[in-house]
Structure 1
Amino acid sequence: MRDIEELRELREYDAGTPPLDDATRGRVRARLLSTINAGNGPAPAVRHRRPVLRVALTGAVAVAVVGGVLVTGQRDDSGDGKTAAPPTASSPVMQNLSVRIVLNGAATYARRHEQAASLAASPRDDQFIYTKEIIREIDEKTGATKTYTDEDWRSVDNSKPSWIMEIGKGWWSQPPQKNETVWPPQDWGTLKKLPTDPRKLILELAHRRPSGKDDSLSGISDATWSLVQFKLAGLLKLVPVMPEGLRPAAYEALGMIPGVKAVPNQKDAKGRTGVAVTYDDPTLPDGARSFGGYFIFDPKTYAFLGFRDARAVVRNKHRVELTQLSYLDSWAVVDKAKQRP
């Protein structure tokens, strides 16, 4: 219990520096999961936005920032974690038809509406992906609401500094160092190499090779499923334009992960009622949230409406719980940072 309380206190700590953006949280979490799966070898360094949260991943100890919480885990050297049940016809994930219907419907909608955008964009490596996101934060106790406009310019090939904003605050994110990797990729060449078959996409993100004609997903551990969910959520949340077929495959693959579920009657940032998809991650400690929060879809067309997430802050020595509702207002491919379309 004391460890959980300490984690909560750390999440609420404000160093007076820009908060971690989703991509950075995701990269740290990815390194945590990669360390868990990699064995006893040394782990590459991890880059962070906040200097006060520089974290080393060495030996059997792994540290990650997940949903605003600094999580420390001691790896079990006996293996990489419990093996999750594969999504077979008799498993709970297959019996929960609603989430498969929602995500397969979202895939169908994406195929019908994103082909033209995918073909028209094809950003060059030296360009930037501009996104404009609207975020509404609601105090769960008082109902008070604040609205933020976040504008990001992400370097396509990560060779140039990117401008990142989170809840109204912005900062320059420097290119990764040689021993660092960034997820999700923005460059067209890397994205085009990802499979557009959902099973093969899962195997690719899990760093596995197909085991037979059926591309079996059996034997994937909880930790690896968690890594796959993080990568899929990162793609869907942070990459506004993809090569044809990749977004539908990502939706379908997300629906095949054990622990992904549908939640009806969820309001989006514009007040529309939709059906949400979220992930119960068995590898996280109590109180920690999986990356991506809730993806909200129109219950009839399955068009994507936006995200729902939560965070906590300390105001006047009191803990304040906030609900975040957000949506992508616009995106474009531009030639330099801070250039608006």
Structure 2
Amino acid sequence: MDDLTGLREWETGNVQLTPRARAAAQARLLGAIDHETRRGARSGLPRRLVLRGAFVGATAAAAAGVTVAVTRDPDDAAAPNLTTLSAAQILRKAADTSRADRGPLPVPRDDQYFYTRTYTARTPRNGGRTRTWTDESWMSVDGSKPSSRQEYGKVHHDPPLTDHEVQWPPTVYTKLKKLPTDPDELLAMFRRGRPDSPQRDADTFGEVCLLLQGPRVMPPGLQSAAFEALADIPRVRIDRDEVDVLGRHGIGVSYPGIGFAFLFDRETYAYLGLRVEGFTNKVVNGRWQRTDPYEETRSLQRIAVVDGIGQRP
């Protein structure tokens, strides 16, 4: 019995799904099979048991009503192209893209620097002109040398890190390499054994955003693992028609109540950067207050390994 035949037989003996819900079930099933097959490969479970769990979860979710959008192939008006509105599926596609695109970055030596160039655009939410910055940073690979970084056009000179200094997210490459590249292990690390709750998931989502916002360089497999870990967090959602600092339209993935969203290319699911919601802190009547809310997008555009501060690729 193939998987979609199972869906039809399940429907025969249970509730009759509307066409919209049936399409949702098929889409959810395909996504669940993909996810559970990956999980099963890591756990060693037989494929039949893996797919049974995926089937039950997908059909139950579809009966409850999963949102999907049906589009058509412009070259074939009679052939529908099903696109699910599942944030988890987009994150897994982004993980696949990240894993496949490792780029030409060489393995760095401890005495070298990571060069990054970041584009940032900030727009006041109450009206006003958009400000843009192009920031460059030179971060010591092992932290033993001074580093130089820009934030919103201002240059900061950071002294060498000490052995006892605790920094999160880490910028030292050897510490980043110690983070798990298995999605389940990485998610467990972020959750730290805390009980299941929306607050735990919100904190986890926020910490992954901090990990990926830079300037730092991800060792192979870490960024893709982070996206797959996020895919297992309930309540992640899609923000449609996001625009990054370069004007590229993409898909945003966010979590309710968190002022960060990941931006992905609509076609390739390549990671474009982050959307950030924030406030300006000002002293008002002798007290610090949040004023002037803004929204900004950040896009890491260039990564390279260089031998010294001021050197560009």
What TM-score results when the alignment is normalised by the length of structure 1? 0.58
> Could you say if the C-alpha distance between residues 226 and 313 of structure 1 is closer, same or farther in structure 2, counting changes exceeding 3 Å?
closer
Q: Does 1:231 align with 2:207?
A: yes
Out of 92, 98, 109, the position equivalent to 2:97 is 109
- Superposed CA offset, 1:212-266 (max 9, x none): xxxxxx9345555444334322332226543332221111101222342211111
Q: Does 1:336 align with 2:287?
A: no
Task: Identify which range, 271-280 or 305-314, moves more after superposition.
Answer: 305-314
Distance 1:220 1:155 in 2: 38
Distance 1:221 1:180 in 2: 31
Q: Does 1:129 align with 2:114?
A: yes
> Could you say if the C-alpha distance between residues 221 and 337 of structure 1 is closer, same or farther in structure 2, counting changes exceeding 3 Å?
farther
The corresponding residue for 1:99 is 87
> Could you say if the C-alpha distance between residues 130 and 200 of structure 1 is closer, same or farther in structure 2, counting changes exceeding 3 Å?
same
- Superposed CA offset, 1:59-83 (max 9, x none): xxxxxxxxxxxxxxxxxxxxxxxxx
Q: Does 1:168 align with 2:117?
A: no
Q: Does 1:271 align with 2:271?
A: no
SS in 2 for 1:135: strand
Distance 1:154 1:327 in 2: 18
* Aligned-partner residue type, residue 274 of structure 2: F
SS in 2 for 1:238: coil
> Could you say if the C-alpha distance between residues 229 and 157 of structure 1 is closer, same or farther in structure 2, counting changes exceeding 3 Å?
farther
The corresponding residue for 2:279 is 312
Q: Figure out how many residues of one structure are paired with residues of the other and give that number.
A: 231
- For the aligned residue pairs, the C-alpha RMSD in angstroms reads 3.2
Contact 2:142 2:174 in 1 (8 A): no
* Aligned-partner residue type, residue 336 of structure 1: G
Quote how far apart the aligned CAs of 1:152 are: 1.4
- Superposed CA offset, 1:254-279 (max 9, x none): 12223422111111112222110122
Contact 1:121 1:241 in 2 (8 A): no
Which has more strand, going by share of residues? 2
SS in 2 for 1:121: coil
The corresponding residue for 1:324 is 296
Contact 1:126 1:157 in 2 (8 A): yes
* Aligned-partner residue type, residue 234 of structure 1: L
Contact 1:296 1:306 in 2 (8 A): yes
Distance 2:291 2:178 in 1: 45
Within 5 Å, which residues of 2 pair with 1:169-208? Answer: 169-207=154-192
Contact 1:162 1:337 in 2 (8 A): yes
- Superposed CA offset, 1:95-147 (max 9, x none): 68611111011011112212x43xx4222222221111111222334341222
> Could you say if the C-alpha distance between residues 245 and 314 of structure 1 is closer, same or farther in structure 2, counting changes exceeding 3 Å?
closer
Identify unmatched segments of 5+ residues in structure 1: 1-87, 209-217, 282-288
Distance 2:235 2:167 in 1: 25
Distance 1:314 1:182 in 2: 24
Contact 1:124 1:187 in 2 (8 A): no
* Aligned-partner residue type, residue 313 of structure 1: T
Contact 1:132 1:330 in 2 (8 A): yes
Distance 1:276 1:261 in 2: 8
SS in 2 for 1:258: coil
Distance 2:298 2:219 in 1: 24
* Aligned-partner residue type, residue 140 of structure 1: R
What TM-score results when the alignment is normalised by the length of structure 2? 0.63
Contact 2:171 2:216 in 1 (8 A): no
Distance 1:205 1:313 in 2: 28
The corresponding residue for 1:158 is 143
Distance 1:220 1:127 in 2: 42
Q: % of aligned pairs identical?
A: 36
SS in 1 for 2:132: strand
* Aligned-partner residue type, residue 172 of structure 1: H
> Could you say if the C-alpha distance between residues 170 and 239 of structure 1 is closer, same or farther in structure 2, counting changes exceeding 3 Å?
closer
Q: Does 1:299 align with 2:266?
A: yes
Which has more helix, going by share of residues? 2
The corresponding residue for 2:14 is none
